[in-house]
Amino acid sequence: MNVAIRHDPSFAVARLELSGGERARVEAGAMAAHSAGMSLEAKLQGGLMKSLKRSVLGGESLFVSTYTAPDGGGWVDVAPRLPGDAFTVEVDGAYILTRGSFLASSDGLELDTKWGGFGNLAGGEGGFLVHVTGTGTLVGSCYGALDRLTLAAGEGITVDSGHLVSYSDTVQMQARRASAGGLMQSAKSGEGIVYDVMGPGEVIVQSRNPHELVTWLTGQLPFSRT
In a domain, 222, yes or no: no
Nearest to 74 by CA among 144, 142, 15, 6: 15
Instruction: Specify if 8 maps to a domain.
Output: yes
- Look at residue 104 and tell me if it is in a domain: yes
Tell me if 219 is assigned to some domain.
Answer: no
Mean residue pLDDT across the chain: 83
Residue 216 falls inside a structural domain: no
Query: Would you list the DSSP string of 83-103?
Result: SB-EEEEEEEEEEEE-TT-EE
Between CA 106 and CA 199 the distance in angstroms is 27
Specify whether the CB–CB gap between 42 and 28 falls below 8 A. Answer: yes
Q: The pTM is what?
A: 0.81
Looking at residue 180, its pLDDT comes to: 59
Confidence label for 64 from pLDDT (cuts 50, 70 and 90): confident
pLDDT (average), residues 125-143? 85
Q: Tell me, what's the pLDDT at 186? A: 45
Domain contains 220:
no
Distance CA 15, CA 75 (A): 6
Q: What is the residue range of 181's domain?
A: 2-211
Q: What is the pLDDT of residues 160-188, one digit of tens each?
A: 988 999 999 999 988 888 765 554 444 43
Dist CA 30 CA 99 (whole Å): 15
Total number of domains constituting the chain: 1
In a domain, 184, yes or no: yes
- Asked if 99 and 58 touch (Cβ cutoff 8 Å), the reply is yes
CATH number at residue 52: 3.60.160.10
Closest CA to 145 of 193, 201, 186, 84: 84
Residue 66: name the closest of 26, 14, 106, 32 by CA: 26
Q: Which residues pair with 76 in a beta bridge?
A: 16, 34
With cut-offs at 50, 70 and 90, classify the pLDDT of residue 118.
Answer: very low
Residue 217 counted as domain residue: no
